[in-house]
Copies of this chain bind each other. A is one copy, B any other.
Amino acid sequence: MAEISSNYAPLTVETLPARLGRIDAISARLGADISAWQCVEVGDGNLNLVFIVSSPAGQVIIKQALPYVRLVGDSWPLPLKRAYFEYHALIRQAARDPGLVPEVYYFSEEQAIIAMEFFTPHIILRHKLMARERVEGLAETLGNFLARTVFRGSDLSMDTAKRKRDVALFVDSVELNDITETLVFSDPYFDAERNHHTDGLGPIVARLRADIDLKVEAHHLKAKFANNAETLLHGDFHTGSVMVTETDTKVIDPEFALYGPMGFDIGMLLGNFWMAYFAQPGHGNDADYQAWILEVVADVWASFTAEFSHLWRTERTGILYEESMYEGQPLASEQALSQRLSMIWEDALGFAGVEMIRRTLSLAHIAENDSIEDEALRAACEARGLDMGRQLVVNRTRMGDISQVNDLAQQINKGVSL
């Protein structure tokens, strides 16, 4: 693990104004009079300190990494360098899809601090889904963001020397990658120490742990995650990393950024939507709203493919599927596109499946399920997610298109199970 500078010190609401007040990029947003700054610590995530700093002039988010996992304490050390990866991911995402991620005002590697844009009155999408509130343009914005970041961060678009230097930069994020490699791809499939699950799921858990096809396929997906450096991913693209109003959508928190397979981010996102869908009986059971979630899933994929195809046809400047090879054969380029999309689709379904399984059996669960107090009902919602997750992982290469997969979700929701 990287060394911690002797100058590193965690911020507090008391020390923050004096420590950051002389940084021009921050005082330009909040004013130089630090006595007018108000700080609130709002880090409800598992890892970091997060402050909202307000003044009559404006508002700024200050995010600082701690040298351990906040949720667990210093028994689980985690390098400060994750702020460095988040910073580098944010500036790349901003270039690839402007306006979607917080603008970075200031970054200190030594202090592991990022000062950035505060989105207000946005709330976390996961909470919106529990409150059964719709977001206009959600699917299109997310699908476009995924297509643009995935395409523009790959050898389809980038100068390959630049991409290779970037791979070297991000591959150093060993400890954050390890969290995903372990908690997402391994722990759920055996009796790992940090696992926990709702009472009542015992028989299903036993069945899944006996399912060798599931376990082998999950590890084929882990191999892809660990080795296939196709593009710069967000790395933690669930509905807790999206902030929304009724009409606006933003993306935050890319500290798990890594070079990985193109289907990973979109797969994780779809898996979280399907889990939110199955959790709806615990949040009012509004059939129209549930149907809306499946529409969002379908529209995310449709927007992703439309934008990816558009970029393929207009921005393919990298070393892969070079235009020069297909001179006078535009159909060859279309063939390559549709095959690449099929590969992304299959990977995405697999990653969606492992996400649904790990969010029910491994360390980190989802608020949509955790907040269902009736344990039997919670177990029923979670069991549906597990059933669907298993189908996606094992059968991802022959699931059909998005409408067929959504149809499967509806059948499982109606009670079709193993």
Contact = CB atoms under 8 A, between A and B. Distances in A.
B219 A327 contact: no
A230 interface: yes
A190 B227 contact: no
A319 to B, nearest CB: 6
A178 to B, nearest CB: 7
A228 interface: yes
Given A222-B319, A332-B215, A177 B164 contact: yes
A155 interface: yes
B178 A160 contact: yes
Interface in A214-247: 215-216, 219-220, 222-223, 226-230
A326 interface: yes
A174 interface: yes
Interface in A98-140: none
A329 B212 CA distance: 8
B227 A331 contact: no
Interface in A305-330: 319-322, 324-327, 329
Interface in A279-338: 319-322, 324-327, 329, 331-332, 335-336
A341 interface: no
A189 interface: yes
Contacts of A226: 155, 160, 319-320
Interface string A153-173: 011000011001101100110
A411 interface: no
How many copies of this protein are present in the complex?
2
A336 B160 CA distance: 33
B332 A216 contact: yes
B174 A160 contact: yes
A97 interface: no
A339 interface: yes
A165 B168 CA distance: 8
Contacts of A324: 186, 190
Given A216-B321, A216-B339, A226-B320, 4 more contacts: A155-B223, A165-B172, A215-B329, A220-B336
19 contacts: A155-B223, A160-B177, A161-B178, A168-B172, A171-B171, A182-B319, A212-B332, A215-B325, A215-B326, A216-B332, A216-B335, A219-B320, A219-B322, A220-B336, A220-B339, A223-B321, A227-B228, A228-B229, A229-B229
Interface of A: 154-155, 160-161, 164-165, 167-168, 171-172, 174, 177-178, 181-182, 186, 189-190, 210, 212-213, 215-216, 219-220, 222-223, 226-230, 319-322, 324-327, 329, 331-332, 335-336, 339
